[in-house]
Amino acid sequence: MTPDEWDPSGFKDRVDGLLDDYLADEAELLLAIDDALEPVAEQLRAAARHGKRLRAAFCYWGWRAGGQPDNDALLRAAASMELVHAAATVHDDLIDDSPLRHNLPTAHVSLRAPLAGRRGAYGAARALAMLVGDHLMALAGQLFADSGLPAAYLARARPVWGDLARDLVAGECLEILATGARPDPEVSLKVVRHKTAKYTVEQPLLIGALLAGASPDLRVALSAYGLPLGEAFQLRDDLLGLFGEPERTGKEGLDDIRTHRPTALLAVTWQAAVPAQREHLAGVLGRGDLDERHLREVRELMVALKAPEQVEDMIAARVRDAVGHLGGLGIPPQARRALTTLASSATDRRH
């Protein structure tokens, strides 16, 4: 990737290679303690093998927007954002008891195999997965701190780490508290904002900008770009969760309905439905015996109520808002182009 050119594929390859090596080294340190830790070490190695590396990219371009050049130490700091995401997905899959991610068994499902035949194997596998997620979050902080950037740079960005962790935990807790409750658009959007939007776009951007020594005005403008774009990212996930192709999304289409998650798509549907439609929907939400017929019926109801169209409008409005804040920014042209491209790739996708 040249300084004036944004090569998403090349950037992803750099982050992939860095994370593969970092997690392989950490897995070896676990195995040096005891060979019995091999199943845990394998889940650690596998945790960050997939992903579009958007969070690392936003951190990188926050740095570049602050006028700084490409830098290997910064790349390591940016890659730590992907370990935050890996930790969050392990925990999220555990909380939702999701069987698949990227068309592969989730960590808590994979960890049942080495425990097969043992008493309490199901609970033990879940406990191991929880610890894998915890360790990934600790490793994210370690990779950031050991990135090689000057201590003064890291100190500027450290407070946002606390904000990121708080928002992520708060969003996950809010989702748990709202799961199974009456769908509410305001609650759904608050979950979207804190569980996903901030740590996916806004906070990686701010961390990169703070590392670069960006001015307060620039940081405010980057937040104004990052927050609506992060919301649009999760709203797209809501749509893909129910209307995406499982072979592309890597998840089961019935997950959100079976768990009765407080998604914005469901809240918009509920708000538009008449009492008879709400009664029918309530009879489906949260059931454990759902099949493709139920998925088809829910999709048909949502389409009839134009709920997907409303969510598409919400996505489009947020992307326009985000990109609109780039126009007046005094940032290098390549950073503006990259952030415009990232706004599209984060929200115009099929997985």
> From residue 145, how far is each of 62, 77, 128, 135, 152 by CA, in Å?
18, 8, 26, 15, 11
Please choose, from the candidates 116, 1, 110, 6, the residue with its C-alpha nearest in 3D space to the C-alpha of residue 49.
110
Would you say how long the chain is, in residues?
351
The confidence score (pLDDT) of residue 103 equals 84
Report how far residue 172's alpha carbon sits from residue 160's, in angstroms, rounded to the nearest whole number.
18
Report how far residue 112's alpha carbon sits from residue 123's, in angstroms, rounded to the nearest whole number.
9
Percent above pLDDT 70 for the chain: 98
164: Cβ contacts below 8 Å, ≥ 6 apart = 84, 198, 199, 203, 207
> Does residue 5 register a pLDDT over 80?
no
The confidence score (pLDDT) of residue 351 equals 67
Report how far residue 196's alpha carbon sits from residue 169's, in angstroms, rounded to the nearest whole number.
10
Q: Which residues pair with 104 in a beta bridge?
A: 101
- Mean pLDDT, residues 175-185 taken together: 93
Q: What does residue 299 show for φ and ψ, rounded to 5 degrees? A: -60, -45
The confidence score (pLDDT) of residue 1 equals 47
- Mean pLDDT, residues 96-116 taken together: 91
The rounded mean pLDDT for the chain is 94
Report how far residue 91's alpha carbon sits from residue 89's, in angstroms, rounded to the nearest whole number.
5
How distant is the alpha carbon of residue 7 from its chain centre?
21
Contact 342, 58 (CB under 8 A): yes
Secondary structure class of 100 (helix, strand, coil): strand
> Does residue 3 register a pLDDT over 70?
no
Cβ burial of 228 (10 Å; 0-12, 13-18, 19+) is buried
> Does residue 100 register a pLDDT over 80?
yes
> Does residue 165 register a pLDDT over 50?
yes
> Does residue 2 register a pLDDT over 60?
no
- Mean pLDDT, residues 238-252 taken together: 83
State the number of CA atoms in the 13 A half-sphere of 52 facing the CB.
15
Please choose, from the candidates 135, 159, 155, the residue with its C-alpha nearest in 3D space to the C-alpha of residue 145.
155
Q: Which two tokens stand for residue 55?
A: 């969070």
How much is the pTM? 0.94
pLDDT tier for residue 188 given thresholds of 50, 70 and 90: very high
Contact 347, 319 (CB under 8 A): yes
Percent above pLDDT 90 for the chain: 85
> From residue 143, how far is each of 75, 136, 149 by CA, in Å?
10, 10, 11
156: Cβ contacts below 8 Å, ≥ 6 apart = 210, 211, 213
Report how far residue 158's alpha carbon sits from residue 298's, in angstroms, rounded to the nearest whole number.
44
> From residue 247, how far is each of 96, 234, 244, 326, 350 by CA, in Å?
20, 19, 9, 35, 10
Cβ burial of 242 (10 Å; 0-12, 13-18, 19+) is buried
